Chain A
Amino acid sequence: MTDTTVQGLTDEQVAFFRENGFVGPFDLYDEDEAPLLWNQAKIEMVLSQNKPHNSTIINYDRHLDCNTLSEHVARPEIVNRLRSLIGDDILCWKTNIFQKTPGESGTGWHQVETFVVGDTTTASTPSLKYTEETDYLTQELTVWTAFSPAGRENGCLRFIPGSHKRWYYDESKPLTLDVESKTHDFFGYDYSELKLDQDWDPEQEQIVEMEMKPGQFVIFLAKCIHGSLPNVSDETRLAYASRYVAPSVKVYENVDSLSEFGDTIDLDYHGCVLVSGEDRYGYNRIHERNLNGYEFKKVTP
């Protein structure tokens, strides 16, 4: 069990999230500590004897074999704030590494909810299937933690506040992969292909640039349109996104593998991590320990 004394969100922060679709940044690690923690995670990733998959392109779910990241996804500073938005019962279902090297372009605007990306997740077999309505503010949240400076020049996150209130894109449609094309600025895909109104220009909307120091995190809805600036600094920007759902959400139902970014991984390894509360639904496989045998920590409300 984990210390639960860390505060959740204030009423003002909850109201801000409800209006804007994101809230933060919040301090998690000291500015000097964060890069060292990432280096430790990097060492664990390289030397891991229990890799969830062998892809070097699809960098998902290394919280399942790196103890440092296993600990990170269940940090009470994160989980208690999530509880204010999603309720006490929370699963971590996915993590991604977002590395942006010097000179790398920005990430195009995108808006998702069921995470249909690539070839194996489709409108009929999305990554996430919502099975019921909720009394809470949301059933899905992303936490994006900076492990290096993430200012404007490094390629910080950008949000269009309030954009979670309606759809600007149709995420159920397929995307074409073309890593050579400059317009395919969403990891090789051109997300603007999915715009509901092709004349709508997100750059004309109000934009919030979420500058963050190493060790800070921001919470947002994947449905809140987001992207990032290019990295024009001489330092690699490193971030780790951990994604959470309520246990009523079915994860990768009828999805056995992921084909994305030109590579494929089997999902045999996959399981969710219960980081808070209880799973009263039993829809998803739950990992109580990571692939090294490390026991995941859990906040008990």
Chain B
Amino acid sequence: MPAVETQTSLKKLVDFLSTQPETAHLTEEQVTADATREELGIGSLAVILLVNNYIQANAPGVMIDPAWVPRLNDVAGIMSVLDEIDQSAS
């Protein structure tokens, strides 16, 4: 992914996490593209809930794809899933 797109996706994720009660404490410095989900203290089930909340807020009607689940183990993967959700909605 080009650097500019990565920065845009990262900003989108950081902004979204700041709206969620469980992740509002995370800082921009912590949410880096190479961070893992575990490093951010987000559980494997909690991240699915986060994705669902993102869909409710930004792309109602999009279904969570089971193929996304293994990608939710790191920030890069989560960003790519949110991008895919946005594309599905547009």
Contact = CB atoms under 8 A, between A and B. Distances in A.
Interface of A: 35-37, 39-40, 42-43, 45-47
Contacts, number: 25
Nearest to B67: A36
A292 to B, nearest CB: 16
A46 B69 contact: no
Indicate the member of B52, B64, B66, B67 with the most A CB atoms within 10 Å: B66
Contacts of B52: 46-47
B61 interface: no
Interface in B44-77: 45, 48-49, 52, 64, 66-67, 69-70
B34 to A, nearest CB: 18
A47 B66 contact: no
B70 A39 contact: yes
Interface string B12-28: 00000000000000000
Contact of B49 (A37, A39, A40, A47): A47
A36 B49 CA distance: 18
Contacts of B70: 35, 39
B74 to A, nearest CB: 15
A36 B66 contact: yes
Contacts of A45: 45
8 contacts: A36-B66, A37-B66, A39-B66, A43-B66, A46-B48, A46-B49, A46-B52, A47-B49
A238 to B, nearest CB: 11
Nearest to B63: A43
Contact of B48 (A35, A36, A37, A42): A42
Q: Which 3 A-B pairs have the closest CB atoms?
A: A39-B66, A39-B69, A40-B66
Contacts of A47: 48-49, 52, 64
Nearest to B46: A46
Indicate the member of A37, A42, A43, A47 with the most B CB atoms within 10 Å: A43
